[in-house]
Amino acid sequence: MIKSELVMRIAEQNPHLYQRDVENIVNAILEEITRALARGDRVELRGFGAFSVKQRNARVGRNPRTGETVDVASKRIPVFKTGKEMRLRLNGGAASAKKAAVRVSA
């Protein structure tokens, strides 16, 4: 599923909203998460997972093809940790079994 499909599905469930509104909603959510991470904050969404930011120190890397050494600058990377409920659903928790039954078509 890509973003536009997500927007379409949410719009179908909410006939009173314009697709453009739904698009704005999805973007607002992603933007808020991005901003939080850019500030170095953690984003915790129960039942889904948590985003956090980790610091990677500068290091000397190597171009694997040529063997040349390259300086890699320190950077911050986003990290996602799957939440407990999501982990269970991925591995056939009760909720996912129900969903699979519903999803005959599509």
Partner 1 sequence: MAGRTVTRADLCEAVYQKVGLSRTESASLVEMVLSEICNCLANGETVKLSSFGSFVVRDKGQRIGRNPKTGVEVPIEPRRVMVFKPSNVLRARINGQRSEGEE
Q: Which residues bind partner 1 (CB under 8 A)?
A: 1-3, 6, 9-10, 13-14, 21-22, 24-26, 28-49, 51, 53, 75-80, 82, 86-87, 89-91, 95-96, 99-100, 103
Measured from the CB atom, the residue of 57 and 91 that comes closer to partner 1 is: 91
Measured from the CB atom, the residue of 70 and 79 that comes closer to partner 1 is: 79
Exposure class string for 64-76: b at 16+ Cβ within 10 A, else e: eeeeeeeeeeeee
Q: Residue 4 CB, nearest distance to partner 1 (Å)?
A: 9
Measured from the CB atom, the residue of 42 and 59 that comes closer to partner 1 is: 42
Measured from the CB atom, the residue of 13 and 57 that comes closer to partner 1 is: 13
Residue 2: φ, ψ to 5°:
-110, 175
**Residue written as tokens 């901003």?**
35
Q: Residue 65 CB, nearest distance to partner 1 (Å)?
A: 22
Distance CA 106, CA 96 (A): 16
Distance CA 54, CA 51 (A): 10
Q: Residue 30 CB, nearest distance to partner 1 (Å)?
A: 5
Among residues 46, 41, 30, the alpha carbon closest in space to that of 87 is found at 46
